[in-house]
Amino acid sequence: MNVKDNVPPFGIVGYGHLGQFLVEKIQKEESEVRLHLAFVWNRNPEKMKGSVPEKLILKNLSDFPQRPADIIVEVCHPQIVKEFGIQFLSCSHFLVGSPSALADPEIQQQLREAAKHYGKTLYIPSGALWGAQDIQRLNDSESLKALTIRMSKHPSCFRLTKNLLPDWTEGEGRRLLFSGSVAELCPLAPNNVNSMAAAAIAGAMLGFNGVRGEIVSDTALKDYHVVEVEVTGTDGFCVKTTRRNPSQLGAVTGSATYTSFWSSLLGACLPVSCMNSALHLHCLTLPLFFSLQGSWRPSLLVLTILDFDVLVL
């Protein structure tokens, strides 16, 4: 029996560092994880030559319906989510690797409606966000009062718009680049704040306008990124976490985020019959499944992803 029989095909949109990691992982482990590739697209197809089989290279993204995929995974830029998200959902389930695109309320609403209309699922990976399930629990119990995420990186790791970091010198130390709502921050740092966008989705009662985000340039952070999360609830409840994510100098994405994203992709392989058309946030915690109303159900995950959680938003 061919390994690809009854195995969900994936379309990968984007072939940067994360896209390359996912493509190589699927090709290497397709028999173990029972996945295979339908297509791989990159803005510059030349970058894929020699590493992606020619038959898998999709040269024109508009031609994706000709390469049927159960799930399309975007790992390139929020603009692709805005331009193609609804089209993707008309044919496939859609995992949004650039959830900063959802800071635009119109885009988010259009994608939610498309998922319902076409009977598809819209997935959001937790990425570098730690404690997403706990944020969701507070949100569901209407106990979430405030949420702040601070992301500190070496200045070479930021990809910013509007001249937020026009110049910097090695050894200058820390510099606060932005402090405000995640809704304001996402367009300014679309490639750097996806974990903040995931937090805004998990903490829906605050949303993108209510969740506070800060980005800090720190020349001392040459080996890792730092993500600090502060959650405030009722009656004085407060939790603060600090995550150090190893990274190479100049890298937008920390090393641990790659394995987190891979787990999110595996989590998206839950049987479609077990899922309602909805928005899902995936995070590496316990093997449980719960709905927006907080009703708990047994895990539906396969053995290869027992450490996985799915939050239905």
- Greater model confidence, 181 or 6: 181
Residue 44, pLDDT above cutoff 90: yes
152 and 49 in a common domain: no
120 and 188 in a common domain: no
In a domain, 4, yes or no: no
Q: Is the alpha carbon torsion for 77, 79, 83, 85 positive or negative?
A: positive
Residue 263, pLDDT above cutoff 90: no
**What is the average pLDDT value for the chain, to the nearest integer?**
81
In a domain, 3, yes or no: no
Q: Of 201, 236, 252, which closes a domain?
A: 252
In a domain, 179, yes or no: yes
Distance CA 133, CA 166 (A): 37
Q: Of 202, 224, 252, which closes a domain?
A: 252
Residue 293, pLDDT above cutoff 50: no
Distance CA 147, CA 184 (A): 15
The pLDDT-based confidence of 130 (bands split at 50, 70, 90) is: confident
Q: Of 207, 235, 252, which closes a domain?
A: 252
In a domain, 45, yes or no: yes
Predicted pLDDT at 239: 95
Mean pLDDT of 278-295: 34
101 and 24 in a common domain: yes
Q: Which of 126-130, 143-147, 190-194, 298-302 has the lowest mean pLDDT?
A: 298-302
In a domain, 185, yes or no: yes
Residue 109, pLDDT above cutoff 50: yes
Predicted pLDDT at 285: 31
Q: Are 233 and 174 in contact (CB under 8 A)?
A: no
Residue 227, pLDDT above cutoff 80: yes
- Residue 120: give its domain's CATH number: 3.40.50.720
Distance CA 20, CA 26 (A): 10
- Cα separations in angstroms, 302 against 24, 27, 104, 125, 250: 22, 20, 34, 18, 36
243 and 143 in a common domain: yes
13 and 122 in a common domain: yes
295 and 234 in a common domain: no
Domain range for residue 75? 9-128+257-312
Q: Which of 141-150, 221-230, 296-305 has the lowest mean pLDDT?
A: 296-305
Query: What is the C-alpha R_g of the chain?
Result: 19
297 and 243 in a common domain: no
164 and 237 in a common domain: yes
- Residue 161: give its domain's CATH number: 3.30.360.10
The pLDDT-based confidence of 296 (bands split at 50, 70, 90) is: very low
120 and 198 in a common domain: no
3-state SS of 98-145 is CHHHHHCHHHHHHHHHHHHHHCCCEEEECCCCCCHHHHHHHHHCCCCC
By the 10 Å C-beta count (0-12 exposed, 13-18 middle, 19+ buried), 168 is classed as middle
The pLDDT-based confidence of 4 (bands split at 50, 70, 90) is: low
Predicted pLDDT at 141: 94
114 and 192 in a common domain: no
Q: How many domains does the chain have?
A: 2
Mean pLDDT of 267-287: 45
Q: Is the alpha carbon torsion for 29, 35, 41, 46 positive or negative?
A: positive
Question: The pTM is what?
Answer: 0.81
In a domain, 1, yes or no: no
Residue 34, pLDDT above cutoff 90: no
155 and 64 in a common domain: no
- Greater model confidence, 299 or 75: 75
In a domain, 2, yes or no: no
Distance CA 63, CA 134 (A): 40
Predicted pLDDT at 268: 64
287 and 194 in a common domain: no
